[in-house]
Amino acid sequence: MKVKIIKTESEYKSACEKIYKLMHSTDKDIKPGTPEGDELELLSLLAERYEMQHYAMGSPDPVEAIKFRMDQMNLKQSDIAILFGGKTRVSEVLNRKRPLTLKMITLLNRYLGIPLESMIAGCKSFRLEAQKRKTILKNPSIKEYFDRSSSNIALANGS
């Protein structure tokens, strides 16, 4: 087994092909601790690392996260209405006519297991006006924070 850090797209594709071949090489399960199991685990970790660096996914839209979880759990709006404060409110939120409240976010996390990050990070409706954005970014500490975070740069620029 000759494995190295994946640095290029062609190395990534080669690793994915090797993972596929290992997974489909036998009808039996590949056991951890075996040479094949160790190779599969190592290649998977390296491929995952490469994907996180080159194919990072942004945060999901909160409403889409709710709908996705409802679909996973085979729920209807009426099933979760109590988490929103009623049938009308759940409909308004899912149709983007009403924003999520902190209470709704907390209850959706607690009872449906929707990650808090999914409920707040993807919310793009909260933005500063252009002048206020310029003012806040004059602070060196805040500007440095935004410069380090590529996802926040887009928000700082108003996109």
Looking at the chain, the whole-number percentage of residues with pLDDT higher than 90 is 46
Q: What are phi and psi of 48, to 5 degrees?
A: -60, -40
pLDDT at 158: 47
SS3 for 115-127, per residue?
A: CHHHHHCCCCCCC
Q: Which of 11, 6, 75, 81 is nearest to 45 (CA)?
A: 6
- Tell which wins on pLDDT, 14 or 28: 14
- Tell which wins on pLDDT, 128 or 49: 49
Region 31-39: mean pLDDT is 86
pLDDT at 124: 62
Neighbouring CB atoms inside 10 A of 50's CB total 19
- The confidence band for 75, taking pLDDT boundaries of 50, 70 and 90, is very high
- The confidence band for 61, taking pLDDT boundaries of 50, 70 and 90, is confident
Q: Which of 49, 39, 42 is nearest to 7 (CA)?
A: 49
Q: Is the pLDDT of residue 150 over 60?
A: no
Task: List pLDDT tens digits, range 89-143.
Answer: 999 999 999 999 999 999 999 999 999 888 887 566 667 788 888 888 888 888 8
pLDDT at 155: 41
Query: Residue 110 and residue 47: Cα distance in Å, rounded?
Result: 32
Neighbouring CB atoms inside 10 A of 127's CB total 12
Average model confidence (pLDDT) for the chain? Answer: 85
pLDDT at 91: 96
What is the greatest pairwise CA distance in the chain?
Answer: 63
Domains identified in the chain and CATH numbers: 9-54 (no CATH), 62-120 (1.10.260.40), 127-159 (no CATH)
